[in-house]
Amino acid sequence: MTNPYAPPQASVMDIADPTASHVAAGRGTRLGAAFLDGIIGGLMVWGPFTIGLALGGVTSDDPSNMFASAAFMVFAAVGLIGLVAWCWLTYRFAAQNGQTIAKKMLGIKVVRRDGSRVSVARLFWLRNVVNGLLGIIPLYGLIDVLFIFGEARECVHDKLADTMVVTA
């Protein structure tokens, strides 16, 4: 006779922690990737615009009309091509493996907390747009970055997007 009030008897197998196979990226590597992404984006996009402005002011007879100079137009076009190339590379690496250009160079990537691949939409909207909007709060940017020194090595934007940065 079975006891109707007895706890259920079932064979339960332990499920391995999916994050156990991932090694969290080092703080220095994450910081280096952030700086390197800024430098790469700056060189690809803003560098040509800045050179064009400088040359436009030098080569123009009328400094108030430097935006119409041929030098500015050429470097502005190079800057736009750089922007398109940067966007394409960033999207391609993010869609392939949850990486930016610098994260790919440094061998780290973004994954979901459960270890699964992260979608480009999650990367773009939660890690970038929402986090960028929160940047209007005074000192938020500093607080976001300082969270990396916690035991989990996660910034606020990692918590917002339910992601983590691991070695690739």
Task: Give tens-digit pLDDT for 108-144.
Answer: 999 999 989 999 999 999 999 999 999 999 999 999 9
Predicted local confidence at residue 72, as pLDDT: 78
Q: Closest Cα partner for 131 from 154, 105, 149?
A: 154
| 29 domain-assigned | yes
| 37 domain-assigned | yes
| 154 domain-assigned | yes
Q: Which domain, by its residues, includes 84?
A: 24-167
* Adjacent-strand bridge partners of 166: 24, 109
Question: Is 0.95 topped by the overall pTM?
Answer: no
| 19 domain-assigned | no
Please count the structural domains in the chain: 1
Please return the burial class of 10, using the count of CB atoms within 10 Å of its CB with bins 0-12, 13-18 and 19+. Answer: exposed
| 4 domain-assigned | no
Predicted local confidence at residue 10, as pLDDT: 76
Report residues of the chain scoring pLDDT below 50: none
| 47 domain-assigned | yes
| 3 domain-assigned | no
Contacts of 73 (CB under 8 A, 6+ apart): 52
| 88 domain-assigned | yes
